[in-house]
Amino acid sequence: MKRDLLNVILISVILVLGLYSKELYEKAEQEIETVYIEPIYEYGIPVDSLQITSGVVKKNQIIADIWKQLGLAYSSVHAASETTKTIFDFRKIKNGNLWKAFTANDSANTVKYFVYEINATDYVVYNFENDSIRATLGKKEIVTLRKTATATITSSLWNALADQNLSTELSGKLSDIYAWSIDFFGLQNNDRFKVIYDEQFVDSVSIGIGKIHAVIFNHAGKDYYAFAFKQDSVESYYDEHGNSLRKAFLKAPLKFSRISSHFSYARKHPVLKIVRPHLGVDYAAPAGTPVYSIGDGLVTDRTFQGGGAGNYIRIKHNGVYTTVYMHLKSFAEGIHKGSRVSQGQVIGYVGSSGLSTGAHLDFRFFKNGQAINPLKVEAPPVEPVKENLRTQFAEVIGTYKSQLSNIQLAELLSK
């Protein structure tokens, strides 16, 4: 009887413990979270189980050299060149560009993928899996960030940007925008600017300046606004009154140089050592620097004058204005007498041909056949904002003006 009672008690304890254990197990099971590990991708390739070898293309190196180092047979190179040549031409690999090989974790380090970066954004992937070679083009994600900047000129625009750790690419962008209104060879100390722009990044590395949205550039005490605005499907830059910053003539026929001699009716000639008029402006620049036509026009002369001008070009812009570009090293391809040229087109290259002591451009400007000082030419604006778009334009510039003002406030508060 006692034994039966003990058996009943023992069975009851076991059942209770069993139910309790089951409850604990089910509770624990509910509390366990399923952890999903995201695979790691590079260039669209799952690389979790692959080894990565990288390098850069060396001088005079061809793709066969790289693949040979990775253990790939020449037959693979030949097969790839034939089957993938419409995707990418092997002969176009460039010195210094990055490549990566993705190999299996086996004793032979079998190459599964090979990637060559064509530039900062584009790349080609060679897939060696499944006993075949396939190539695909890819593009890295470009992240665009809206940025603002402000700087004061103390020596040059380039130095002002560098001093602020800003992209010096902005100097070229700003000079292009203001090419018709500000002479960047004549910037003065304490000239300053504020700008709203986009900068583009790939893999957290800047690849360049994108669109510039708005600028205020104070030159010689005067504010020059520039706002990006699109009309008739074409985006251009306008001042705060809706006038186009694009004028009939560029302010200067070349970029980033210095004026070595001004317009004068009495200048001592550096070669002849006599005083005589110099009815132009000399821009000192390295030999080979591109020279641009300051406006649309017709080339009426493209020749060599041994006793003075050297290689020179004369362009008739209309019935009133003509420009001359002297002492050129050479002429641009396709430029000859009778050629039609457009504003900003390269027409030649700085040199020291003719009566010259060194590389420079002697630039001359004529109005109705009479030489005038190129630095004092005021060309009228073209293509203003249309009346039916004035309200939209006002809204756009109102937003940007406010943002530019905030940049100035932030600058003052930081001092």
Q: Is residue 20 part of a domain?
A: no
Q: Is residue 19 part of a domain?
A: no
| 134/65 same-domain check | yes
* Mean pLDDT, residues 299-325 taken together: 90
89-103, 117-131, 171-185, range with the lowest pLDDT: 171-185
Q: Is residue 50 part of a domain?
A: yes
Q: Is residue 15 part of a domain?
A: no
The residues that bridge with 290 in the sheet, in sequence order, are: 349
pLDDT in tens, 325-340: 999 999 999 999 999 9
Q: Is residue 271 part of a domain?
A: yes
pLDDT of residue 264: 53
Per-residue pLDDT band at 130 (split at 50, 70, 90): confident
| 156/204 same-domain check | yes
Check residues 223 and 412 and name the one with the higher pLDDT.
223
Q: What sections of 150-192 are H helices per DSSP? A: 157-163, 169-177
Q: Do 348 and 325 form a contact (C-beta atoms < 8 A)?
A: yes
| 83/193 same-domain check | no
Q: Is residue 108 part of a domain?
A: yes
Q: Is residue 131 part of a domain?
A: yes
* Mean pLDDT, residues 17-39 taken together: 57
The CATH number of whichever domain residue 87 belongs to comes to: 3.10.450.350
The CATH number of whichever domain residue 360 belongs to comes to: 2.70.70.10
63-72, 180-189, 274-283, range with the lowest pLDDT: 274-283
Per the structure, the count of domains in the chain is 3
Domain boundary among 124, 139, 154: 139
Mean pLDDT of the chain: 83
| 119/155 same-domain check | no
CA dihedral 243, 244, 248, 250 (to 10 degrees): 120
Q: Do 243 and 328 form a contact (C-beta atoms < 8 A)?
A: no
Domain boundary among 77, 104, 139: 139
pLDDT of residue 328: 95
| 133/147 same-domain check | no
Expressed as residue numbers, the domain containing 341 is 258-376
Per-residue pLDDT band at 306 (split at 50, 70, 90): confident
| 316/331 same-domain check | yes
The residues that bridge with 223 in the sheet, in sequence order, are: 218
| 276/359 same-domain check | yes
Domain boundary among 122, 139, 156: 139
| 147/46 same-domain check | no
Q: Do 133 and 84 form a contact (C-beta atoms < 8 A)?
A: yes
| 277/188 same-domain check | no
Q: Is the pTM of this model over 0.85?
A: no
Q: Is residue 272 part of a domain?
A: yes
Q: Do 181 and 248 form a contact (C-beta atoms < 8 A)?
A: no
| 275/262 same-domain check | yes
Per-residue pLDDT band at 267 (split at 50, 70, 90): very low
| 196/133 same-domain check | no
Per-residue pLDDT band at 409 (split at 50, 70, 90): very low
| 222/277 same-domain check | no
Give the burial string for 359-382 (b: 16+ CB within 10 Å, else e).
bbbbbbbbeeeebeebbebebebe
For residue 211, pLDDT beyond 70? yes
pLDDT in tens, 176-202: 898 888 877 778 889 999 999 999 999
